[in-house]
Amino acid sequence: MRAQPLNIRAETDVVVVGGGQSALAVAYYLRRTGRSYAVLDAAEGAGGAWRAAWESLRLFSPAQWSSLPGRLMPGGTNYYPTRDETLEYLADYEHRYSVPVVRPVTVSAVRQAGDRLGVYTDTGTWLARAVVSATGTWSSPNVPTFDGQDDYTGTVIHSAMYRSPAPFAGRRVVVVGGGNSGAQIVADLFETASVTWAARRPPTFLPDDVDGRYLFGEETARYRALVAGTHAPPPQTLGDVVMVEPVRRARDRGALNVVPMFDRFTPSGVQWADGHRTREDAVILATGYRPSLGHLDPLGVREPNGRIVTRGTRSVREPRLWLVGYGDWTGYASATLIGVGRSARATVEEIDRTLARPMETAAQ
């Protein structure tokens, strides 16, 4: 195979790929080490995935429990920030800590380049001694396909593309998926459209007084118990439906009724398990996301199931690579605003220690 041309833009100790909350938390700790670093983000502006979230999205964690290291999200203990407030907070955070974000820059590949890693982008290559991947999941929606879908004449979108109820006014819509996204989109739509909520498994609704703050406390207790080798409390996962105010209101209005998943599409709608068919104008798939890891493929670090084996947040196969913010496999609650700080700090401490030693190369 021919070597890729390098077209070097810069050499730094660390490159962080991504520009959302995880990248910012990593940058916060990197700044304190005095090491050189760059943050490369494909987006046009600050905010990561929150830029693509639907207009009415509110955090399930109160402001005080939705903060990155060093700066409290404004609003206090009983306020659930909106999407726009979260975007403002992240833009302000980036500015306040002078995070050196270069955007829009899409990283297409990370490759071994001698004793460095080459970070290949659409505007040139960065050479780094360590790379942190913090690309999140929102750019890789999990989109299942269904029998009969090719002949369906209505609209099918993933929740990643859902912005507001307006385009669905007066229409018949099926929302698929029993998690928080599904519940919040049903709550957003039910007054505007005729909505059916379908899921393979019935959702678990958390009690009204359980929110992100409580869940994070639970996760922390579980983490500590696992580390200490003692009995871990059963998981109450962040995937269970948190009864944020719009979801509570939908429930109180009788709009949160889940039916078992439909069997197949028909040309004009869907067919349900008992054989009856309904006309449906649109189907919204709130079916989750996968980690966005394609840029790491040239490193050969992915397992057949697509995952990367890590010890803490560090890749076992490529010890110059760290992964932050993708979910519990890269640190408990690391895919949340409040949780990612812990993973980011441990990651930067390890990178700093590693770079202080003679260079390590890939473990083959």
Task: Note the residues at the interface with ligand FAD (CB under 6 A).
Answer: 17-23, 40-43, 48-49, 59-61, 66, 106-107, 134-136, 138-139, 180-181, 212, 292, 295, 325, 335-338
Beta carbons of 355 and 130 less than 8 angstroms apart: yes
The least distance separating ligand FAD from the CB of residue 326, rounded to whole angstroms, comes to 7
Beta carbon nearer to ligand FAD, 89 or 152 = 89
The least distance separating ligand FAD from the CB of residue 328, rounded to whole angstroms, comes to 12
Beta carbon nearer to ligand FAD, 266 or 287 = 287
**Interatomic CA distance for residues 335 and 121, integer angstroms:** 25
**Interatomic CA distance for residues 193 and 186, integer angstroms:** 9
Name every residue whose Cβ is closer than 8 Å to that of residue 246 and which is 6 or more positions away in sequence.
56, 58, 184, 187, 188
Beta carbons of 255 and 186 less than 8 angstroms apart: yes
Q: What is the DSSP letter of 288?
A: -
Beta carbon nearer to ligand FAD, 108 or 145 = 108
The least distance separating ligand FAD from the CB of residue 19, rounded to whole angstroms, comes to 4
CA 293 to chain centre: 12
The least distance separating ligand FAD from the CB of residue 31, rounded to whole angstroms, comes to 17
Residue type for 57, please?
L
Beta carbon nearer to ligand FAD, 66 or 347 = 66
Residue found under tokens 């992915």: 302
Beta carbon nearer to ligand FAD, 107 or 351 = 107
**Interatomic CA distance for residues 80 and 248, integer angstroms:** 14
The least distance separating ligand FAD from the CB of residue 86, rounded to whole angstroms, comes to 8
**Interatomic CA distance for residues 40 and 38, integer angstroms:** 6
Helix then strand count (H, E) for the chain reads 6, 17
SS3 content of the chain, % helix, strand, coil (to 5): 30, 25, 45
Beta carbon nearer to ligand FAD, 64 or 268 = 64
The least distance separating ligand FAD from the CB of residue 169, rounded to whole angstroms, comes to 22
